[in-house]
Amino acid sequence: MITYSEGYKYQLEKDYTVVVDIIGETVDTDYIDLKTDGTLIIYDGYCWDGPSGPTIDTKDFMRGALVHDALYQSMRMGKLDANKYRKVADATMRKLCLEDGMGWFRAWYTYHAVRLFGDKSAKPEGDYPIKTAP
């Protein structure tokens, strides 16, 4: 029998480092490290589902989705306070998408979509359920 979860489409092939506006907190997992100075390191092998919702996966959305998913996963794991940092994660996604060439209107509505509908994904029960198969 195997156990697995659904929901991941992409796997990081090389470590990625970015500075985010979360200062004074630490996250230390196998795939995500957040340093107290805001340096976020997402390690080779990290899996994420890319942009979520009624959207398409485009190059200008991939980096924002990666960082957003890592921060939300940190919240689901109880490593970051979702009440305090969910808005920062959402704003970081928008900022990275704009830096990567996303149009302002798409960046605006994707930000508002995660603000309206992302709460469940930052809570522990928002994680992917574990399934089994023979």
Q: Give 95-115 pLDDT, tens digit per residue.
A: 999 999 999 999 999 999 999
What is the pTM (predicted TM-score) of this model?
0.90
95, containing H or E segment: helix 82-99
Residue 128's pLDDT band (boundaries 50, 70, 90)? low
- Which of 10-24, 29-43, 110-124 has the least mean pLDDT? 110-124
46 burial via Cβ count (<10 Å: 0-12, 13-18, 19+): buried
Q: What is the mean pLDDT of residues 45-58?
A: 88
Look at residue 3 and tell me whether its pLDDT is greater than 90.
no
- DSSP code for 45: T
**Which residue would you say has higher pLDDT here, 52 or 76?**
76
In sequence order, the 6+-apart residues with CB closer than 8 A to the CB of 49 are: 7, 8, 9, 10, 65, 69
- Tally the residues of the chain: 134
| CA count, 13 A, side-chain hemisphere, 132 | 2
Closest CA to 86 of 27, 37, 22, 31: 22
State the pLDDT at residue 71. Answer: 98
> How far lies 80's CA from each of 13, 42, 91, 98, 123, in Å?
25, 15, 16, 25, 11
